[in-house]
């Protein structure tokens, strides 16, 4: 029997919720994607929490919140500690996306689901792979090979191929077939007949409008700017925005515009810095221009990178384009800017992707757009006046309690450990409980005296009053003098690693100073919110720049890939149902649409066994070449090799007669020019039939479109009266096939 494969969706089926699926292959559990939405609703992760401990490996496919947003939370709260696999850019851009999410949340709320440290630790154990790298799992997953392949859509976007015993399970969501400015299209089409394909129905009902859209995009922007308005593009942190930046850069260069463009996220400068070093992951045109002229497309000429809002406020007045995160308008700079600009008729808010369900962006994309929206404006303000005093008192009280407790514990400890010998070897016991207490808070009204003294060390228990630590530097002597520790004199290989040490221990990624200061900012502050109603007077446009394959190309790709079994996930109920019906008819008879937490078994019902082809047999086999394949008919007798393998030997008796087989794939469209080149008049008659000469017709019958498991071989009918032409045409027809 084949490899056992089970799929259990944890989130994101029959709706547009974030993606998260459990795929278990011969008992090895893969969590594929670990997404969250912009609302950060923990209830979505309920199914994940139940299985988190059983997961053996996590595969990430894209770098946005929808695909990896829940990773830090899951690692921290659910004890998800399996190794994580992703491509280098997906890892890096994912990290930056999460930083940006955290920082924009933190700015407006007491966001406590995860911290920057949680993000770092979650992303620390990510194994980074390159495209088409076959990574052999070991241990429990022995025999399983995983390989990321180019998906398009986002930088580093991945179609995962999991192979065991020659059977492929492919996970492909949010892929793009079209080649874009910075990315190539997906390679999904190069996989044929995988055992299982897991794919999304997200775009099944959307059809991309033709290319003129690009002009609408550019026209509307330049029109707004010329009329003196501002343009806001709510974007993601490090994904689709890269494509938009390149489009704008090109347009600006082409039309030599000088309106400023700002790219505003908490991590914009590091995003672009990293992107510059990811050229090998990008499309051909970018790599090529770099190879020939060393022009890095992301050395931006027109776009200014900003990491906080005040820089934007300080920018000179006048029309400008701002790309700001988040795309959902729920948080981040885009939210604030929208509130500021919405009431001005001249301004334009241009959406380039469909907003997540239930977000402000989605509301505004409705047709017709709402006249006014209610928003919550929140701001983090430093505490002042009475609040500050109250806060400080509270902090002091807490601190005092802690230190008291700590010193009591320490005293007991040191009594216990140092009681017998007075030799205090370790005078620098750091009082860990105190280490985090803010140092700038000093209470002048007493009580602090002891605190300050004790902060940083604990006095020996034998001393009567607090004193500075005193320690004898006793040295051991032997017959040759002072005992030397040879380690002290070794020239360490440290010089060069110093720099690395400085960075290694710290954050994995790099934060902009503004962001860092925000994170390190321990000044007491609070969040102030007020609800207000914004009159939406600015123009709103939604253009699809999502870079996903649209309904039509999804169907083409699926028909081409023609999996043996197909699992549909992530998409509205209608889209899922629509695609299911389509695939049942045209792709394959096994289409599954599981519900959340419903485990479906997509183990292939394939039977297979391995045999050795003996030298004797192979010397008699004559292969015929057919495209990439070579085929031959074999009649063989089963024997055994020395090591117990089954082997095929030449048959000893008369070979049984077998039904002859015609192998080949007749394409009417290709056959027609072939016939005309042979001097036969051909034309297409109705119903796909080919009319050859005066009387003979050739046509295909049966479901020609479906290649999947259910249909049999193709049926071709040739009809005509008895005449020379008939036999001639029949011969040409035969020449298209290989007879076994």
Partner 1 sequence: MASMGGQPPSSLKRRDAPPVSKEGDQLIITPLGAGNEVGRSCVYMSYKGKTVLFDCGIHPAYSGMSALPYFDEIDPSIIDVLLITHFHLDHAASLPYFLEKTTFKGRVFMTHATKAIYKLILTDYVKVSKVSVEDMLFDEQDINRSMDKIEVLDFHQTVEVNGIKFWCYTAGHVLGAAMFMVDIAGVRVLYTGDYSREEDRHLRAAELPQFSPDICIIESTYGVQLHQPRHIREKRFTDVIHTTISQGGRVLIPAFALGRAQELLLILDEYWSNHPELHNIPIYYASPLAKKCMTVYQTYILSMNERIRNQFASSNPFKFKHISPLNSIEDFNDVGPSVVMASPGGLQSGLSRQLFERWCSDKKNACVIPGYVVVGTLAKTIISEPKEVTLMNGLIAPLNMQVHYISFSAHADYAQTSTFLKELMPPNIILVHGESHEMGRLKTKLTTELADCNTNIITPKNCQSVEMYFNSEKMAKTIGRLAEKTPEIGETVSGILVKKGFTYQIMAPDDLHIFSQLSAANITQRITIPYSGAFGVIKYRLEQIYESVESLTDEESGVATMRVDDRVTLKQDSEKHISMHWTSDPISDMVSDSVVALVLNISREMPKVIDESEAMKSEEESGRKAEKVIHALLVSLFGDVKLGENGKLVIRVDGNVAYLDKQSGDVESENEGLKERVRTAYRRIQSAVKPIPLIAA
Question: How far is CA 645 from its chain centroid?
Answer: 43
Q: Are the C-beta atoms of 300 and 291 separated by less than 8 Å?
A: no
Q: How far apart are CA 27 and CA 137, in angstroms?
A: 13
Q: Which one, 22 or 60, has the nearer CB to partner 1?
A: 60
By CB under 8 A, the residues from 554 to 573 that bind partner 1 are 564
Measured CA to CA in angstroms, residue 32 lies from 102, 136, 137 at distances of 23, 17, 16
Task: Name the residue nearer to partner 1 (CB basis): 453 or 737.
Answer: 737
Q: Does 669 bind partner 1 (CB under 8 A)?
A: no
| Pick 78 or 633: Cβ nearer partner 1 | 633
Q: Is 294 in the site for partner 1 (CB under 8 A)?
A: yes
> Which 624-643 residues touch partner 1, going by CB under 8 A?
626-640
Q: Does 416 bind partner 1 (CB under 8 A)?
A: no
Q: Give the residue, chosen from 315, 406, 441, 507, that forms a contact with partner 1 under the rule CB under 8 A.
A: 507
CB of 702 to partner 1, least distance (A): 9
Q: By CB under 8 A, what part of segment 165-184 binds partner 1? A: 166
Residues 589-608 that bind partner 1 (CB under 8 A): 606-608
Give the nearer residue to partner 1 in terms of CB position, either 279 or 339. Answer: 279
User: What is the rounded distance in angstroms from the CA atom of residue 258 to the CA atom of residue 47?
Assistant: 51
Q: Are β-strands 167-172 and 646-650 bridged in parallel, bridged antiparallel, or unpaired?
A: unpaired
* Residue 428 near residue 468 (C-beta atoms within 8 A): no
- Residue 391 is a binding residue for partner 1 (CB under 8 A): no
Nearest residue (CB) to partner 1, 474 versus 643: 643
Residue 108, C-beta contacts closer than 8 angstroms, at least 6 positions apart: 331, 378, 379, 380, 527, 529
- Contact status: 159 vs partner 1 (CB under 8 A): no
Indicate whether 663 belongs to the interface with partner 1 (CB under 8 A): yes
- Distance between CA atoms of residues 23 and 164, nearest Å: 13
We find the least distance from the C-beta atom of residue 136 to partner 1, in angstroms, to be: 7
Judged by CB, which is closer to partner 1: 136, or 585? Answer: 136
Q: Could you say which of 493, 531, 642, 724 contacts partner 1 (CB under 8 A)?
A: 493
Residue 712: CB minimum distance to partner 1, A: 7
For partner 1, give the closer residue by CB, 355 or 509. 509
> Would you tell me how many other CB atoms lie within 10 Å of the CB of residue 161?
21
To partner 1, the closest distance from the beta carbon of 345 in angstroms equals 44
Q: Applying CB under 8 A, does 277 fall inside the site for partner 1?
A: yes
Question: Rule CB under 8 A: is residue 623 a binding residue for partner 1?
Answer: yes
> Under rule CB under 8 A, which residues in 173-232 are in contact with partner 1?
192-193
Determine which residue in the list 435, 655, 669, 685 makes contact with partner 1, applying CB under 8 A.
655
In Å, how far are 110, 490, 524 from 265, measured between CA atoms?
20, 48, 24
The nearer residue to partner 1, 674 or 726, going by C-beta atoms, is 726
Residue 684 in the binding site for partner 1 (CB under 8 A) = no
On whether the CB atoms of residues 150 and 157 are closer than 8 A, the answer is yes
Instruction: Check residue 456 and give left, alpha or beta (phi > 0: left; psi -120 to 50: alpha).
Output: left
The Cβ-side half-sphere exposure at 376, using a 13 Å CA radius, reads 11
Class of residue 700 by CB neighbours under 10 A (exposed 0-12, middle 13-18, buried 19+):
middle
Does residue number 687 form part of the binding site for partner 1 (CB under 8 A)?
no
Give the number of C-alpha atoms closer than 13 A to the C-alpha of residue 4, restricted to the C-beta side: 9
Pairwise CA distance, residues 133 & 247, whole Å: 31
Q: What is the maximum span of the chain, computed from C-alpha positions, in angstroms?
A: 124
Is residue 93 part of the contact set for partner 1 (CB under 8 A)?
no
For partner 1, the binding residue among 497, 574, 601, 694 (CB under 8 A) is: 497
719 sits near partner 1 (criterion: CB under 8 A):
yes
- Span interacting with partner 1, options 22-30, 328-336, 420-428, 721-729, rule CB under 8 A: 721-729
Cβ atoms of 540 and 364 closer than 8 Å: yes
Distance, in Å, from the CA atom of 570 to the CA atom of 14, rounded to the nearest integer, reads 6
Out of 290, 453, 592, 674, the only residue in the binding site for partner 1 (CB under 8 A) is 290
How is residue 188 annotated by DSSP? G
- Could you give phi then psi for residue 162, rounded to 5 degrees? -110, 125
Total number of residues that touch partner 1 (CB under 8 A): 101
End-to-end CA distance of the chain: 28
Question: Residue 734 interacts with partner 1 (CB under 8 A)?
Answer: yes
| Residues in 121-150 at the binding interface with partner 1, rule: CB under 8 A | 129-134, 136, 147
Q: Is 532 in the site for partner 1 (CB under 8 A)?
A: no
């Amino acid at each position: 029997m084949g490899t056992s494969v089970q799929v259990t969706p944890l989130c994101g089926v029959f709706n547009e919720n974030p993606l998260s699926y459990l795929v278990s292959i011969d008992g090895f559990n893969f969590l594929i994607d670990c997404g969250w939405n912009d609302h950060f609703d923990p209830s979505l992760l309920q199914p994940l929490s139940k299985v988190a401990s059983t997961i053996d490996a996590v595969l990430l496919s894209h770098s946005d919140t929808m695909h990896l947003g829940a990773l830090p939370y899951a690692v921290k709260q659910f004890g998800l500690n399996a190794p994580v696999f992703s491509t280098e850019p997906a890892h890096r851009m994912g990290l930056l996306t999460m930083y940006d999410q955290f920082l924009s949340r933190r700015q407006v709320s007491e966001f406590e689901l995860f911290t920057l440290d949680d993000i770092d630790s979650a992303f620390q154990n990510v194994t980074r792979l390159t495209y088409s790298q076959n990574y052999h799992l070991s241990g429990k997953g022995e025999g399983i090979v995983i390989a990321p392949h180019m998906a398009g859509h986002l930088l580093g976007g991945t179609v995962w191929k999991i192979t065991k015993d020659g059977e492929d399970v492919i996970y492909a969501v949010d892929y793009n077939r079209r080649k874009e400015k910075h990315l190539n299209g997906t390679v999904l089409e190069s996989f044929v007949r995988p055992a299982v394909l897991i794919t999304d129905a997200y775009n099944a009902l959307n059809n991309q409008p033709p290319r003129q859209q690009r002009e609408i995009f550019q026209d509307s922007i330049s029109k707004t700017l010329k009329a003196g308005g501002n343009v806001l593009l709510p974007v993601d942190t490090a994904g689709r925005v890269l494509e938009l930046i390149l489009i704008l850069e090109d347009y600006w260069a082409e039309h030599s515009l000088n309106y400023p463009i700002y790219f505003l996220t908490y991590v914009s400068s590091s995003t672009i810095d990293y992107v510059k070093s990811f050229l090998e992951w990008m499309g051909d045109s970018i790599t090529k221009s770099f190879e020939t002229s060393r022009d890095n497309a992301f050395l931006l000429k027109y776009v200014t990178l900003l990491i906080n809002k005040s820089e934007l406020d300080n920018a000179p007045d006048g029309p400008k384009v701002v790309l700001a995160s988040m795309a959902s308008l729920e948080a981040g700079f885009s939210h604030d800017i929208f509130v500021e600009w919405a009431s001005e008729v001249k301004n334009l808010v241009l959406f380039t992707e469909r907003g997540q369900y239930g977000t402000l962006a989605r509301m505004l994309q409705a047709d017709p757009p709402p006249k006014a929206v209610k928003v919550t404006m929140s701001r983090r303000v430093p505490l002042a006046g009475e609040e500050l005093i109250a806060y400080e008192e509270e902090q002091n009280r807490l601190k005092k309690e802690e230190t008291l407790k700590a010193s009591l514990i320490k005293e007991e400890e040191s009594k216990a450990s140092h009681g017998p010998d007075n030799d205090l070897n370790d005078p620098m016991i750091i009082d860990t409980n105190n280490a985090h207490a803010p140092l700038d808070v000093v209470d002048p009204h007493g009580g602090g005296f002891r605190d300050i003294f004790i902060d940083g060390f604990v006095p020996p228990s034998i001393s009567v009053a607090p004193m500075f630590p005193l320690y004898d530097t006793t040295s051991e002597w032997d017959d040759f003098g002072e005992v030397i520790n040879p380690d002290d004199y070794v020239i360490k290989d440290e010089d060069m690693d110093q720099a690395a040490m400085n960075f290694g221990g710290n954050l994995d990624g790099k934060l902009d100073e503004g962001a860092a200061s925000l994170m390190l900012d321990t000044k007491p502050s609070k969040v102030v919110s007020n609800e207000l109603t914004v009159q939406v007077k600015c123009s709103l446009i939604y253009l699809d720049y999502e870079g996903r394959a649209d309904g039509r190309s999804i169907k083409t790709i699926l028909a081409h890939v023609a999996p043996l079994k197909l699992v549909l996930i992530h998409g509205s109920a209608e889209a899922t149902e629509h695609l299911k019906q389509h695939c049942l008819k045209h792709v394959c008879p096994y289409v599954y649409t599981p519900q959340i937490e419903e485990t479906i078994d997509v183990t292939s019902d394939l039977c297979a066994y391995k045999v050795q082809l003996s030298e004797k047999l192979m010397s008699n086999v004559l292969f015929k070449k057919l495209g990439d394949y070579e085929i031959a008919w074999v009649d063989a007798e089963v024997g055994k090799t020395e090591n117990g393998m089954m082997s095929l030997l030449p048959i000893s008796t008369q070979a049984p007669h077998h039904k002859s087989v015609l192998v080949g794939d007749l394409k009417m469209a290709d056959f027609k020019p072939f016939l005309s080149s042979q001097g036969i008049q051909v034309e297409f008659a109705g119903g796909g039939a080919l009319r050859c000469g005066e009387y003979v017709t050739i046509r295909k019958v049966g479901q020609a479109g479906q290649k999947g498991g259910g249909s049999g071989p193709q049926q071709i009918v040739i009809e005509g009266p008895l005449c020379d032409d008939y036999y001639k045409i029949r011969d040409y027809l035969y020449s298209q096939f290989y007879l076994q």
